[in-house]
Copies of this chain bind each other. A is one copy, B any other.
Amino acid sequence: MLMKRAILIILDGLGDRPCKEFFGETPLEAASTPFMNYLAREGLCGMMSPLSLGWTPESGPAHFEILGYHPYYNFYPGRGPLEALGTGEKIKEGDVVFRVNFATISKGVIIDRRAGRIKDVRCFEKDLRMEMDGIEFILKAGTEHRAALILRGENLSSQLTDSDPRKPNRKPKKVRSLSPEAKRTAKVLNKYIERVHKILENHRANRERKRKHLLPANFILLRGAGTYKKVEEFERRYGLKACCIAGTGLYKGVGRFLGMKILKVRGATGGKNTDLHAKFKTASKATKRFDFVFLHIKGTDLYGHDGDAVGKMNFIQNIDNAMRILSKTKALMVITGDHSTPCSIKDHSGDDVPILFYGTGDMRRDDTLAFGEKYCETFGALERIEGKDVIPEILNLTNRGKIIE
């Protein structure tokens, strides 16, 4: 039987290193995952370098490679425009956009880059929208502490550095211009950041948070400046009618940027508390309407960043449980991560991630007995592939490969 459809499940930051909690097993190896083990046993496995061996990617570039936009730097617009698209905001060609973290600073030093993982920053949107020196500033809330900042006006440039130092207990940096054309943008932007700090310090929502002994969201940290430009849509590029199921703004943004239909799922938060059952149920239905379903789950990465190996293991077990609804699908299933986020280093690493391809149809299978780093490394017939190989292999296994002549 020939398979024609596929579902690509990306468990963010899935890969890990040996954990002392599990006597040297990784969270994925230690987790009880009978369903994914079944898929591995009856499918085709391997390890994947999202970019290239040893390279450590942010999620954005990793997704561009895995989704077949290789090399990502030809296509990647920067994190900012993707975050903005993920909020559902309309952006225009030429807009300069940043990814924003609402953070907490005290005496000029960052104490928390995520303002105590604040649940919602929509309450600040209206008060932070303004025009300064001919530039329109539009701040759009994402999920939790995340937001996008859109700069609209004449002669803007995204040749700008980040203000986010990416680590706490430091001062936020000034945004600097990387080219003469960007000087004016940098200058006005730094003024805006100061202005925002003053507004947030006295904002009623933050006074309320302090009363509840929560960290105030009194500063915005900027990174990933990019200018919005269009790229060839996924359906046109690969002939697959595609949809995207994601809770976090960035991934919805990636899907929207590539022209995928964004499916709404009630309870999909992009957080640890996301409704996994609802997401997989939506995915299961979507395989009947779409040729290609891109399903993204963020929680694995969050536990990695927190260094919580047991939490990561439990979350993976919940995924395995929720995923069983896919047992009746006729589509090719592909499960992997976009990078490793080892609990031991609490950040992304350049370690490969395990990958499996399983379908009921006509395909080769190997002898990988479980889904985990060591099993896939040792027994996976695909050995070591790269992110750029994923879509060609999906096209091959769904018998859609174009013949190169």
Q: Please list the residues of chain A having a beta carbon within 8 angstroms of any beta carbon in chain B.
A: 2, 17-18, 24, 47, 51-58, 60-61, 79, 223-224, 342, 344-345, 347-351, 362-367, 373-374, 377-379, 381-385, 388-389, 391-397, 399, 401-405
Contact = CB atoms under 8 A, between A and B. Distances in A.
24 contacts: A2-B344, A53-B382, A53-B385, A53-B393, A54-B394, A55-B396, A55-B401, A56-B396, A56-B402, A56-B403, A56-B404, A79-B405, A344-B362, A345-B362, A348-B403, A349-B396, A350-B401, A364-B374, A364-B377, A366-B377, A366-B378, A367-B378, A378-B379, A384-B385
Given A348-B403, A383-B383, 14 more contacts: A18-B363, A18-B364, A52-B389, A53-B393, A54-B396, A54-B401, A55-B404, A56-B396, A56-B403, A56-B404, A61-B404, A347-B403, A378-B381, A384-B385
Count of identical protomers in the assembly:
2
Contacts of A57: 403-405
Contacts of A381: 47, 374, 377-378
A162 to B, nearest CB: 9
A392 B60 contact: no
Nearest to A347: B403
A383 B47 contact: yes
A40 B249 CA distance: 43
Contact of A396 (B350, B367, B378): B350
A124 to B, nearest CB: 25
Contacts of A345: 2, 362, 399
A48 to B, nearest CB: 10
B404 A365 contact: no
